[in-house]
Each structure stands twice: as C-alpha cells, then as structure tokens.
Structure 1
Amino acid sequence: MAAGDGEEGEVAGRGLTAERSRVASASDVGYLEGVIPIIVDLPMVLGHEATGTVEEVGEGVTDFKVGDEVAQAVKATDAPGVSRDGGYGEYVIGNVEMLVHKPAGVSRSQASAATDAGVTSYSGVVVHGGIKKGMRVGILGLGGLGMTGARIAVAQGAEVIGIEPREQVWEAAKERGVSRVVKDVSELAGEDLDVVVDFAGFGETTVKAIDAVKFGGTVVLVGMGKLEFEFSSFDFITRAINLQGSTTIGRREDLEAVLKMIADGDLVIESSDIAFDEIPDGIDRLAKGEVSGRLVARYDS
C-alpha cells in the first residue's frame, strides 16, 4: 500500500511488498457480470479490500512511513479496484486521507475483510442505525454481512434478534450473542423494536420491517437483493418511520473502530484464505453462492 499526497488526494507512489492480502468479494462478481457499473475506463484490476506494507510515500507525508502495515477505508467513488487498479495487482495506490495503521494484533486476513465488509456492517449498525446500549434491534439476514452486523450490535450493548430463514446458521448467531432468531420479520410485527437493519433487501423484507419497529423507529436498508419495490405509505407516514439507506462513506474512523473491535477480541469476521492463483476459482464460487464469509487472497513474497 502506498501513501502520499498526489493529485486530488490520491497517493503518490507504489506499495504492498512483503506479505499482502486482498479480499475476493461478491462486488467483484457484480463488476464482472455488469450488475454493478464500473466508473473508470477499462481495463482495470479488481480487488477493493486490500492490506499491505508501505513501500513508498509521496512528498509531504508524515503520518506513514516505509514499512508500516496499513489498510485503506473505501467508498463507492474512491477505492482500489473501483476508481483505480486494485488489490489483485502487484502494487496498490491508496488515498492517504483514508489510510489507517493496522493494529499489531490484527491479522492481514481480518484487516482486509474489515476495510469494506466490516465497515459496511458497522455503517448499517452504528453510523446509520445509531444502535447503542439498551436498544432492541433486529438484524435481518444472517449472511456474512448480517452476522458481522449482529455481532457489532451485540458489542454496542443492544439486545439483538436475528431474522433468517436458514435454521442451520441460528446456532452460530446465538454464539455471537444474538438473543433469539426467527424465520421471517413478520413474526416481529408489533414488537416495537428501535431499529431493524435489513442486510437482505428483497423489498418485502424492508416492508415487513416497518411493522416491527416502534413509532418513530428506524429501518436501515443495506442489502440489495431487489433494487426496486413498492410499499404502502400509510404506516410509514402515520407512525413516523425513518427509512435510512446505508453504505460505507470512506471515513478512516469507521475502519479504525472495526479494527479496534477485532484487536480487542469483540469481533471476528468469517473468512478463509486462498492463494493468488485461486482467485478465478474463488470468484466463480462466489458467483455460485458457495462461499460463506469472505475469501482472502494472501500474497507471500
């Protein structure tokens, strides 16, 4: 990972020598299949969740030096593998304004997964959901992001109820501190939850979540299972429900918060390591829905 003060806040320099990690993610599948638009001219190297070692810094950089282990916060318009060549390449250019030091006690695999997957969950739960101690919270969809989000909500001191039709993951959710799990969010209608975070986003999940929150409660939409849906405005208006969209916004403090939770032992993001030459097979497995958690490609020099 390089750090510097080049044009438009970009990093001047190159980096990521020694051991390197990049996450192979479902977003990469979306780029390859044309579901998620690419904002720069092709060709481009994918891989937007990267950690590594600083090899070179730009002029005027004082917060980072050669040899530092770092990770970069990401957002939709500024990230490796999104707005510039990414982590599947030999070097990565990063934005010094979003660069953070990797804590010594956090592995490369966990740090890579934290940069987007961890921060996406954190953003839905803390940044946009405002979840804090004493709240009653529903986490809708206990896949990789939802399970991470559930654990983050528990760590904030909330009572967490999971919503997930796949019973085989219920025990894992309870091991992470979830108090109980139901199959459908409609089972929580009238329970007056403070917040429901929808990591599924299939339209009807969001609509049903409105009935589960209290007057003035909040439904946070993270998942994009369905990109368009209709809902009745009556309950939305008469019960003063807040519907909040959520995505990562590239703040280093959010990534630092997730990394601290990992370093403190409060959070483990489910992941498995693969080698560089296994990336194509890994992306194929992601496309087929055969991956649980994140795949982390580790480059050892």
Structure 2
Amino acid sequence: MKAWQFTDTGKPLRLVEVPDPVPGAGEVVVDVRTSGLCHSDISIMHHPAAKQALAFVPLTLGHEIAGVVSAVGPDVTEWKTGDRVGVWATPRTGTIPGYTRQGGYAERHLAPASDLTALPDGLDFALGSVGTDAGLTAHHAIVGRGQVRAGMKVGVIGIGGLGQIGARIGVLHGAEVHVAEPKRDVWHLAESVGASSVVADAAEWRGKDFDLIVDYAGYDTTQPALEAVRFGGRVVQVGVGKPLGTINLAVLLREKDLLGSFGGTLDDMAAVYALMASGDLAPVHSEIPFEALNEGLDRLEKGTVEGRLVARVSP
C-alpha cells in the first residue's frame, strides 16, 4: 500500500510502498477514506525537538483518520468488516497514530479496536476526520473542561479550525458566545456559527465579566482572558501558539480558574458526530487528493487554509 512517511527534520514527506497491515489480537484494519491535516504534523516536520516525541523513524504521519473496517483480529467482536468508523486521535493510554504507531496518511491503518467510534450513516468521511481531532478537542475544552451551559456568557479566542467548532458548540448549548480573532478575513466564520460579536483582540474584553473563556489560540492571550472573566470565572487553555508567556498571578486571587485541556475522549467524538449528523454542526473544511498531501501541508504552514483541510485517500 502507499503511505506518506516522515524521514527527517526539514524534509517533505515521502510517498512510499509499505506492507499492508495485518490485525492481531484486539486490532482492526481500517481502509482510510479521509485523513485530516494538522499543524502538529508541521511541527514534527520542521522542529528538531518534535522528532523526539516519535516512537520511530521513518513513520507514517496523520492522526485524523476516518474509513471503513476491512479486517478484524481474531478476538474482536465489537466491529465487523464494512463498519464506518473514526479513529481516536488522542487516546489517554496505548499508542497514538502518527506518533507512536503508523498513522493515517496511508491507504490502510492498523488501530486498536477500542480506539474506534462509529461514524453515523450519511455523515461524510471528511467530517468524520474533522471530528477525530479538531472536533473532539474543541468539544472537550468547552463542554468537558469548561462546563458550558445555557445562559453563560462565553468567550472563544481564535476562530480557526478548532475555534469555529467550539464556538458553535457553545451556541448549541444555549450560551451567549463572543469571539476574539485578529484575522478580520475570517470574521464571517464567527457570524456563521451564531456568535453574538467579534473583536480583534481579547484585551478589548477586559472587565466584561465573562463566565467562561476558551482560548484556542494561545498567542499572549491567557492574561487578557483572565482579566475578562468574572470573579470565580474560568479560563480553559487549549492553544499553545506561543508556549511561554507571563501572567499576573494576582488576578487569580479573584478565585478565577485556569485549566488546561488536551484532546478529548471517545464520548466527545461521539457527541461531535451526533451534532454533525443532525446538521447542527457543519465545520468549514476543504479537501485535497491524497497525492497532493505535501502541497496541502505547505498551505497549512503558510496559513492559507480556512477551517480544516482533509486529504481524500480513496472514494
């Protein structure tokens, strides 16, 4: 089968022929229909330190995988050939696709049977890929960690691939959602998901007494977020666009919570799939052919992608 593999820092992925996977105990083979592109793959390709997180090299990248089960291990009873599935991108235990096991930039993918979620009938595989990482990460941050509920005043920082999903989920939960996004050319995404307002800088929210702010960006935005939530309010940090920063600890004395959020659970993915299948959640995304994967990663690195980008591996 064909697979796009990372070989070394600073080099494009290589399209190579590798053996077809064979499922063992507790495993399934998924014929990959779509595989989403992610900024974390850009980091692996271009930053030497990121290479250290990989279990081995060469490695097939890609962790946003949706497809059809084509083979099951001898003891697998919960899945059968022909099942439509999404593959969990951020398992808390075990192996992670594209990091500690071969990933989804390939025609077939070997996965633990326990890491799959059923893809609803009629839901396109491209949205299935979006839900495996961007969707479940956005949902976990605003619902799992943020505890969003009806009537809350919520701020979402960043209206990119994750932020557009998180903002929409907040609206669907009955919250009054406001967005901070410096790129005015994507402000229309905030309007499309039902946000009440958009500003260019979260600093404009200072003293606005938000109940919850979810930061999907992380570019010197943590301090402004903390200043914008009310006494006892909550900030959930998802994005780490700039990993090192400074906050004024005195602001925490107003009993404000600063929480981290990473990935999500299978329940998060199932919830996102249900919202997508109902038509209530329709993230902006675009597709490229499997053969153009390096070109797609280049577009992602240059910041010319709106929403999410998905490679169509097979029809």
Normalised to the residue count of structure 2, the TM-score between the two structures is 0.88
Q: Quote the residue 1:239 is aligned against.
A: 254
Q: How does 1:259-274 map to 2 (within 5 A)?
A: 259-274=273-288
How many residues get paired? 292
Task: For 1:163 and 1:133, locate their aligned partners in 2 and report how far apart those are by CA, in whole Å.
Answer: 20
- Is the 1:3–1:54 Cα contact (8 Å) retained in structure 2? no
Matched, 1:300 2:314: yes
Q: Contact 2:97 / 2:104 at 8 angstroms: preserved in 1?
A: yes
Q: Shift of the alpha carbon at 1:12?
A: 2.7
- CA distance in structure 2 between the partners assigned to 1:241 and 1:43 by the alignment: 45
Closer/same/farther in 2, CA of residues 171 and 287 from structure 1, 3 Å limit: closer
Match of 2:38 in 1: 25
In 1, the alpha carbon distance for the partners of 2:23 and 2:254 equals 49
Give the structure with the higher percent strand: 2
> How far apart in 2 are the matches of 1:231 and 1:25?
28
Identity %: 39
Whether contact under 8 Å (2:107, 2:314) holds in the other structure is no
Q: Which residue does 2:29 correspond to in 1? A: 14
Q: CA deviation at 1:79?
A: 2.6
Structure 1 131/36 Cα, relative in aligned 2: closer, same or farther at 3 Å?
Answer: farther
RMSD: 1.9
Aligned to 1:225: 241
SS in 2 for 1:132: coil
User: How far apart are 1:259 and its partner, in Å?
Assistant: 0.3
Q: CA deviation at 1:5?
A: 7.0
Runs of 4+ in 1 over 6 A off after TM superposition: 1-5
- What's the CA shift for 1:3? 11
Match of 1:152 in 2: 169
Is contact 1:4-1:60 (8 Å) kept? no
User: How much does 1:69 deviate?
Assistant: 0.8
1:138 aligned partner, one-letter code: G
Summarize deviations over 1:37-91 as a string: whole Å, max 9, x none: 4330111101110111111111222211011111112217633212211111221
- The 2-side partners of 1:4 and 1:218 are apart by 44
Is residue 72 of structure 2 the alignment partner of residue 73 of structure 1?
Answer: no
Deviations 1:210-234 (A, max 9, x none): 1110111111111111111111111
Query: Which residue of 82, 93, 97 maps to 2:99?
Result: 82
Q: In 1, are the aligned partners of 2:211 and 2:230 still within 8 Å (CA)?
A: yes
CA contact (8 A) 1:218 1:241 kept: yes
Unaligned 5+ segments in structure 1 are: none
Aligned to 1:98: 115
Q: CA deviation at 1:167?
A: 2.3
